[in-house]
Amino acid sequence: MANLKKQADSLGLTKLPKYTFYCQPKGIKKKFSTTKPRFIYSIEDYLKGLDQSVQEGDSGSARTVKSHILAPQAGLFLETISKIAGFSAMSADNYVSEINIYTENTDLVKNIVKILNNQWEDGIIPHIDFNKIQKKFGVKRDDVINAWNSFLQ
């Protein structure tokens, strides 16, 4: 997984504009010893449709999981940091995620934001626990909402 970040660095993808979003997943999936948000799989499927060379990997500890998706042909690197913000690791309500998207292609960012937003019929913003986001990542409610709204219009 750290290898994907090094690959992205060597390709110059981490020097591209960075777009950051914070959210909570609608669901989580346990895979081997890692529990991660289901939206990672949706984003990966979307990017595989654009770039057959997509690679993904995970690492982390019991309470923090990092996921990386590298799409070199599409010119995108995505890094997600998901933290447990509650007692149970098996409840999606207890996860908060920071999603960093590195790309010059804002259409890719818009499409990824739509994938995340479409997890819920009424959109993602009503389903964000801003107190948990602020506690785990130090980001204020207005900054989270403004980032989402800038790509949901």
**Each residue of 100-127: pLDDT tens digit?**
999 999 999 999 999 999 989 999 999 9
Look up the pTM and report it: 0.90
Average pLDDT of the chain to the nearest whole number: 88
Q: Tell me how far apart the alpha carbons of residues 59 and 57 are, in angstroms, rounded to a whole number.
A: 7
AA letter at 10: S
Q: Which two tokens stand for residue 9?
A: 């660095």
Residue 55: predicted pLDDT: 93
